[in-house]
């Protein structure tokens, strides 16, 4: 088999490099992955998202992929992004649980959006799905930087690795979907909606992977992230906001379930991770009221509302709720409209009128 | 409440900083979840630390160019990335800086790591 030059301007087509990565020797595999990583980084740099037609995927450089295109990078404990590519699309599993969890989690999330909502990746135009693992030193967080997902290993004391929960991976990727569609600003109620939408679809990806019905799902976000030292089951509970943890070091889950508990604060970009409990709980109530698989009706109503051109980037809970009620009517009918209005009413948000 | 230097340095008349007498207020916001315990502000009195730790924090403040940093991070918030507010009072100067992740300045990143560890240790000892 031919050797692979580590050059950012590789003459070998990506498909051939991927085959070498899958079938070559250990060294050939490393070289092919490194070249793919360099090549992919250069293409990403050249092709800013503004140059892509979001509907057709036709880019100036024609980079939109035809299907699922995942790339997992390893930051090796640094905070330099994206790091070194360690697993490309179609490559075999590697002896690194974080790499494989990220790869599989991105795949499950892509499949969910494609199968259920006919959406091709983050931008509905085949955008590459990139994630970096082993980010930072004992880094106990995960975030979306506008272009890719980033996962820390956790400190091992309070937090396990951040790839451990499928819903957390789907949560991060959904921030990309929201950034492509409604572009909800990350502040105040719009920011809490942004966070809630990531929790909603994060949970739905997990439910879809398990083929669970609404009443069988746990509705937890980040189960497994805490070590055994922490008194808690997850980061958040959509079923019972405010009950996910109560720990001497982390404190008590501050999420309200209804508007009566809405937290007015300037911290955390206006409480985006706190007040998201309210729309989270409304979605849970709706899903359970409708029954069956939550992604079929409740999820479809939320997804179409996220894509609704009337949804402003500065939307309030009430504005979002009204659109969900209208979309429930258009998509399904009176029964679903009434269920949406009722779910929002239970959390103190008026969705009709 | 966020750390701040609204009242100026503790010893305005002093002209030189003292590595032993540095006071640092530190606060974390955001991240994948809001943890009230981790978000509570922490004050670190360097004179209460062992000399090697005092020197390390002093060195990181200097290498980060802390007193020349902009007070606010102009970048837009990235979903789930954290923001850190640090107020350093070395007796002669007091400055408050808010920085968002990811942090490009290596010394500032190391300073944040060190302060995060100190804050966690302080919470555990309560």
Cα-to-chain-centroid distance, residue A98? 16
Give the integer Cα–Cα distance in Å for B95 and A183.
34
* A48, pLDDT greater than 90: no
pLDDT at A64 over 80: no
Instruction: Identify the residue with better confidence: B15 or A258.
Output: A258
Residue B55's domain comprises 17-124
Flag whether B82 is in a domain.
yes
pLDDT for position B35: 94
pLDDT-derived band of residue A115, with 50, 70 and 90 as boundaries? very high
Residue A151: DSSP 8-state: E
CB A204 within 8 A of CB A217: no
Does residue B11 sit within a domain? no
Task: Using CA atoms of A294, A299, A302, A306 in order, give the dihedral in degrees to the nearest 10.
Answer: 160
Please name the residues in contact with B50: beta carbons below 8 A apart, sequence gap of 6 or more. none
Whether A45 shows a pLDDT value over 70: the answer reads no
Query: Percent of chain A at pLDDT above 70?
Result: 81
Residues of A annotated as catalytic are 172, 273
Cβ separation B109–A143 shorter than 8 A: no
Q: Please give the Cα distance from A236 to A267 (Å, whole number).
A: 18
Specify which residues B84 forms β-bridges with: B28, B99
pLDDT range class, residue B123, cuts 50, 70, 90: confident
Closest CA to B7 of B18, B19, B23: B23
User: In chain B, what residues touch A267 (CB-CB under 8 Å)?
Assistant: 2, 29, 39
- Whether B3 is covered by a domain: the verdict is no
Q: Is the CB of A146 inside 8 Å of chain B's CB atoms?
A: yes
Number of structural domains chain B divides into = 1
Among candidates A39, A46, A56, A48, which has minimal Cα distance to A126?
A56
Residue A340 or residue A137, greater confidence: A340
Cβ within 8 Å, pair B77-A145:
no
* pLDDT computed for residue B121 by the predictor: 86
Smallest CA-to-CA distance from B107 within B95, B118, B115 is with: B115
Mean pLDDT of A59-68: 55
Confidence of residue B3 (pLDDT cuts 50, 70, 90): confident
pLDDT band for B124, please (50, 70, 90 cuts): confident
> Is the minimum CB–CB distance between B102 and chain A shorter than 8 Å?
yes
Mean pLDDT of chain A: 87
B12 inside domain: no
Report if residue B23 sits inside a domain.
Answer: yes
SS3 breakdown of chain B: % helix, strand, coil, rounded to 5? 35, 20, 40
pTM: 0.84
ipTM confidence:
0.84
pLDDT, mean of residues B2-24: 63
User: Which pLDDT score, from 0 to 100, does residue B125 have?
Assistant: 78
Residues of A in contact with B76 (CB under 8 A): 186
pLDDT per position as a tens digit, A173-196: 999 999 999 999 999 999 999 999
| Residue A122 near residue A65 (C-beta atoms within 8 A) | no
pLDDT digits (tens, 9 = 90+) for A331-347: 999 999 999 999 999 99
Q: Which residue out of A138, A143, A271 would a mutagenesis test of the B interface target, given it has the greatest number of B Cβ atoms within 10 Å?
A: A143
Axis crossing angle, helix A188-210 with helix A166-180, rounded to the nearest 10: 130
E strand map for A34-83: 70-74
- Alpha carbon A65 to chain centroid distance? 19
Whether B2 maps to a domain, the answer reads no
pLDDT interval class at A42 (50, 70, 90): very low
Contacts of B21 (CB under 8 A, 6+ apart): B46, B47, B90, B91
The answer to whether position B52 is within a domain reads: yes
Q: Quote the minimal CA–CA distance from A320 to chain B in Å.
A: 19
Q: Give the per-residue pLDDT at B77.
A: 86
**Average pLDDT of span B83-87:** 96
Whole-number percent of chain A with pLDDT over 90: 79
Mean pLDDT of B3-14: 60
Answer yes or no: is pLDDT of A3 > 80: no
Residue B22 in any domain: the answer is: yes
- DSSP 8-state symbol, A234: -
For position A59, what pLDDT does the model report? 36
Residue found by looking up tokens 């408050």 in the block: B96
pLDDT tens-digit profile of A292-320?
Answer: 999 999 999 999 999 999 999 999 999 99
B-chain CB neighbours of A198 within 8 Å are 79
The pLDDT confidence band at residue A30, using thresholds 50, 70 and 90, is low
pLDDT in tens, B18-60: 556 789 999 999 899 999 999 989 999 998 999 999 999 999 9
Return residues 239-268 of A near B (CB < 8 Å): 247-252, 254-255, 267-268
For residues A171-180, one letter each, b for 16 or more C-beta atoms within 10 angstroms of the residue's C-beta and e for the rest, the string is bbbbbbbbbb
pLDDT at residue A47 is higher than 80 = no
pLDDT at A62 over 50: no
Among chain A residues, the shortest Cα distance to B1 is held by: A267
CA A275 to CA A277: how far, in whole Å?
5
């Amino acid at each position: 088999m031919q050797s692979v030059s580590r050059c950012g301007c590789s003459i070998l087509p990506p498909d051939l490099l991927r085959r070498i990565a899958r079938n070559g020797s250990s060294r050939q595999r490393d070289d092919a992955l490194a070249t793919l990583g360099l090549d992919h980084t250069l293409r990403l740099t050249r092709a800013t998202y503004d140059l892509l037609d979001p509907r057709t995927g036709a880019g100036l450089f024609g980079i939109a992929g035809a299907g699922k295109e995942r790339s997992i990078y390893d930051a090796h404990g640094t905070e330099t992004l994206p790091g070194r590519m360690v697993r490309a699309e179609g490559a075999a599993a590697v002896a690194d649980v974080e790499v494989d969890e990220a790869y599989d989690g991105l795949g499950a999330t892509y499949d969910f959006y494609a199968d259920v909502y006919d959406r091709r990746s983050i931008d509905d135009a085949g955008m590459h799905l990139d994630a970096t693992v082993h980010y930072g030193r004992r880094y106990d967080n995960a975030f979306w930087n506008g272009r890719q997902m980033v996962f820390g290993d956790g400190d091992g004391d309070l937090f396990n690795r951040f790839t451990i929960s499928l819903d957390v991976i789907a949560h991060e990727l959904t921030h990309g979907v929201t950034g492509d569609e409604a572009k909800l600003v990350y502040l105040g109620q719009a920011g809490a909606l942004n966070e809630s939408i990531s929790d909603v679809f994060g949970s739905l990806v997990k439910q879809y992977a398990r083929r669970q019905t609404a009443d069988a799902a746990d509705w937890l976000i980040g189960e497994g992230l805490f070590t055994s030292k922490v008194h808690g089951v997850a980061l958040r509970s959509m079923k019972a906001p405010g009950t996910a943890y109560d720990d001497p070091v982390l404190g008590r889950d501050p999420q309200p379930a209804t508007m009566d508990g809405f937290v007015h604060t300037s911290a955390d970009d206006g409480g985006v991770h706190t007040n998201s409990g309210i729309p989270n709980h409304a979605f849970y109530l709706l899903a359970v009221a409708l029954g069956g698989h939550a992604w079929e009706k409740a999820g479809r109503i939320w997804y179409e509302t996220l894509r609704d051109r009337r949804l402003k980037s500065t939307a309030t809970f009430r504005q979002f709720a009204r659109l969900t009620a209208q979309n429930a009517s258009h998509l399904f009918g009176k029964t679903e409209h009434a269920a949406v209005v009722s779910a929002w009413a239970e959390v103190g948000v008026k969705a009709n009128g | 409440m966020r750390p701040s230097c609204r009242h100026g340095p503790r010893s305005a008349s002093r002209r030189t900083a003292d590595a032993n007498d540095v006071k640092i207020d530190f606060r974390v916001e955001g991240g994948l979840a809001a943890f009230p315990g981790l978000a509570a502000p922490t004050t670190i009195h360097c004179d209460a630390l062992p000399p090697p730790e005092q020197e390390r924090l002093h060195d990181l403040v200097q290498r980060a160019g802390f007193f020349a940093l902009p007070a606010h991070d102009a970048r837009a918030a990235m979903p789930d990335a954290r923001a850190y507010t640090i107020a350093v009072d070395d007796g002669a100067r007091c400055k408050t800086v808010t920085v968002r992740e990811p942090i490009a300045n290596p010394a500032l990143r190391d300073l944040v790591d060190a302060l995060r560890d100190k804050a966690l240790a302080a919470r555990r000892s309560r």
